[in-house]
Chain A
């Protein structure tokens, strides 16, 4: 039974519609990540689930019960905010116990719960500090602790790591993943960072322009993106897109463009057979290109190196392919020179094709 279900969820501000009928099922105890660029409606969706924004149309079901007219407190939620939203005048212990104190739970039970969560998050030594006396990472942890102490059925996270610096963000991401293993609850997590989405989510929902673009497991989305937007959004460095045309030559299908000609594997060839136009966009991830000087002509692509970005064990090469830019990942020890033309073999599964008009994946 789905725990949380969104049915044709619409949000309008005046006449301006920002969410256009969102349909989403979240399984019990699933970690769902809503990801997308800013302004895509992901935070609005989360805030509507939380009850902080009104629902213009459609319905939110929690355990098959419509909740869109309920107060936030009646929805059995806990939420971690982007700016942590700690109560500045209460110390850490009182911040964490606020919800329980409102419920007038016995003091012993409250102390026990706060103690347990503080222990789990390494906050025991800070219980008597005010939020102003904590560093960013500690505040983040208190915000998480407050949500955990609440012991709600569903946890909502609104870009909880975006205020931290890069190093701390990586550390907190790992801690979140660890907490995720200990706490089996519904979690809905909003982020614009595709790495957070990929590493944390059981299910990723990619949003853009107020629509859901695609949802599925991180692997599904990475390997079989439904359209050009999803393909370009997930993965780092992002997927390369090349203008190309599909051709049939002596019984085999080729995809060719300025400076390259690749033979299509059988399963892809059948998909292009039914196309009305030959004009497509070819997508290849940097990780699907391998430096291989001896690769056969129609299974490789020749690229002229323009810029090399050294980032440690790997380097990212920015290359030119008949006037279009292509990024490639390469082991740093490979001896190459700028301006050189190198041959890269293309992974057969790594060939993605998109309709040039609708940007929908061809498969």
Chain B
């Protein structure tokens, strides 16, 4: 084999190398560090080498920790509720706004603005709006003669409050993806459905939604992964309270490391969250893989018949 050909074969790896090196140092190293740390009884005053190796004790402790279990369920509940609401609202909005009207471009841009605002700012903004006396919600309620709502001081209401803020910020994400999916639907299939006698609802449920499903499933998984990691808005809004009612996992991890100074335990929690997200991500990849395999099989079948 000549040198030139050998060099040619190596070229792609050379181009990949910088990204690979960054990946190793910025991603694999910290994750490995975290996994190792989760087996240690480690406080911030110690160097990592001085920390005592305690095996799986951190994980066992977590399993028996009611507060951790509570925050785990809060996270699951939060993610399930916000993602469900966001999917319904986002896809619904996309269905409503998928038409040619004047000013629609501007309207669409306005709709996706919340997504562009920094989460900390979103948190602060909503905290002002939820303020018991000067916030716009309670002032409005009171001006109509209703009682004010203890938005951030009641455990049920504070959960609702963080759900509303998250839905406000992330519905646009689903909206733009759903809209893009909808606009790439085959027009003629919808026209055929119209001629076949489908009304608007039947067109939505029998043609549009089934055809958008691959995009919607990926969107859902992306959003779910994000929802499990949410931190800033809740940190600013409720800081997990009252009690543990809004203490999602990311916040719990943050506090375990910062306030309780239990770096090992925090690492173990991070690890659990990572595994949960990994399962979701792998699920997404598998879904894509299955879709691709099916498409390939269909193409192959079609080509076989063609000859």
Residues of A within 8 A of B (CB): 50-52, 71-73, 77-79, 81-89, 98-99, 102-103, 129-130, 132-138, 146, 150
Chain B hits for A137, CB < 8 A: 306
Closest to B197 in A: A73
Chain B hits for A84, CB < 8 A: 188
Contacts A89-B210, A132-B302, A138-B305 given; does A83 touch B188 at CB 8 Å? yes
Chain B hits for A103, CB < 8 A: 197
Residue pair A135, B306 in contact (C-beta under 8 Å):
yes
Q: A89-B210, A133-B298 are in contact. List 9 more A-B contacts (CB 8 A).
A: A50-B195, A72-B194, A72-B195, A79-B191, A86-B189, A98-B193, A130-B298, A133-B302, A136-B306
Contacts A88-B211, A133-B301 given; does A102 touch B189 at CB 8 Å? no
**For the complex of A and B, 7 pairs with smallest distance between CB atoms:** A85-B188, A132-B298, A73-B197, A99-B196, A85-B192, A135-B306, A133-B301
CA distance A50 to B302 in the complex (A): 31
Closest to A50 in B: B195
Chain A hits for B298, CB < 8 A: 130, 132-133
Smallest Cβ distance from A90 to chain B, in angstroms? 8
CA distance A134 to B305 in the complex (A): 7
CA distance A72 to B193 in the complex (A): 10
Chain A hits for B189, CB < 8 A: 85-88
Smallest Cβ distance from B115 to chain A, in angstroms? 30
B299 within 8 A of A: yes
Q: Map CB proximity to A onto B286-307 as digits: 1 under 8 Å, 0 otherwise.
A: 0000000001011101110110
In the assembled complex, 8 residue pairs joining A and B whose CB atoms fall closer than 8 Å, in A order, are: A50-B191, A52-B195, A73-B199, A85-B186, A87-B193, A89-B213, A137-B306, A138-B305
Residue pair B302, A98 in contact (C-beta under 8 Å):
no
Q: Which of A87, A99, A133, A146 lies in contact with B207, CB distance below 8 A? A: A87
Smallest Cβ distance from B175 to chain A, in angstroms? 23
Contacts A72-B195, A99-B196 given; does A135 touch B302 at CB 8 Å? yes
Closest to A126 in B: B305
B198 within 8 A of A: yes
B202 within 8 A of A: yes
Chain A hits for B188, CB < 8 A: 81-85
Smallest Cβ distance from B252 to chain A, in angstroms? 42
**Residues 194 to 228 of chain B near chain A (Cβ within 8 Å):** 194-199, 202, 206-207, 210-211, 213
Q: Which of B196, B211, B306 lies in contact with A98, CB distance below 8 A? A: B196
- Give the total number of A-B pairs whose CB atoms are below 8 A apart: 79
Smallest Cβ distance from B206 to chain A, in angstroms? 8
Q: Which of A71, A81, A130 lies in contact with B192, CB distance below 8 A? A: A81
Chain B hits for A129, CB < 8 A: 301
Chain A hits for B191, CB < 8 A: 50, 52, 72, 79, 81, 85
Chain B hits for A72, CB < 8 A: 191, 194-195
Contacts A129-B301, A132-B299, A138-B305 given; does A78 touch B195 at CB 8 Å? yes
Residue pair A79, B301 in contact (C-beta under 8 Å):
no
Closest to B301 in A: A133
Chain B hits for A81, CB < 8 A: 188, 191-192
Residue pair B194, A52 in contact (C-beta under 8 Å):
yes
Residue pair B301, A150 in contact (C-beta under 8 Å):
no
Residues of B within 8 A of A (CB): 186, 188-189, 191-199, 202, 206-207, 210-211, 213, 295, 297-299, 301-303, 305-306
CA distance A87 to B203 in the complex (A): 11
Interface centre among B189, B199, B211, B306 (most CB of A within 10 A): B189
CA distance A312 to B306 in the complex (A): 27
Chain B hits for A133, CB < 8 A: 297-298, 301-302
Residue pair A102, B196 in contact (C-beta under 8 Å):
yes
CA distance A78 to B26 in the complex (A): 60
Contacts A81-B191, A88-B189, A132-B295 given; does A102 touch B197 at CB 8 Å? yes
Smallest Cβ distance from B73 to chain A, in angstroms? 36
Smallest Cβ distance from B305 to chain A, in angstroms? 5
Interface centre among A50, A51, A77, A133 (most CB of B within 10 A): A133
Residue pair A73, B196 in contact (C-beta under 8 Å):
yes
CA distance A99 to B210 in the complex (A): 17
Closest to B198 in A: A102
Residue pair A150, B196 in contact (C-beta under 8 Å):
yes
Closest to B300 in A: A133
Closest to B190 in A: A85
Residue pair A73, B211 in contact (C-beta under 8 Å):
no
Q: Which of A77, A87, A134, A135 lies in contact with B195, CB distance below 8 A? A: A77
Residue pair B195, A73 in contact (C-beta under 8 Å):
yes
Closest to A143 in B: B192
Smallest Cβ distance from B228 to chain A, in angstroms? 30
Closest to B299 in A: A132
CA distance A102 to B306 in the complex (A): 32
Smallest Cβ distance from A16 to chain B, in angstroms? 17
Smallest Cβ distance from B81 to chain A, in angstroms? 29
Chain A hits for B196, CB < 8 A: 73, 98-99, 102, 146, 150
Smallest Cβ distance from A165 to chain B, in angstroms? 10
CA distance A99 to B196 in the complex (A): 5
Q: Which of B199, B206, B302 lies in contact with A134, CB distance below 8 A? A: B302
CA distance A346 to B194 in the complex (A): 54
CA distance A19 to B298 in the complex (A): 42
Residue pair B306, A79 in contact (C-beta under 8 Å):
no
Chain B hits for A50, CB < 8 A: 191, 195
Closest to B214 in A: A89
Residue pair B186, A83 in contact (C-beta under 8 Å):
yes
Smallest Cβ distance from B49 to chain A, in angstroms? 58
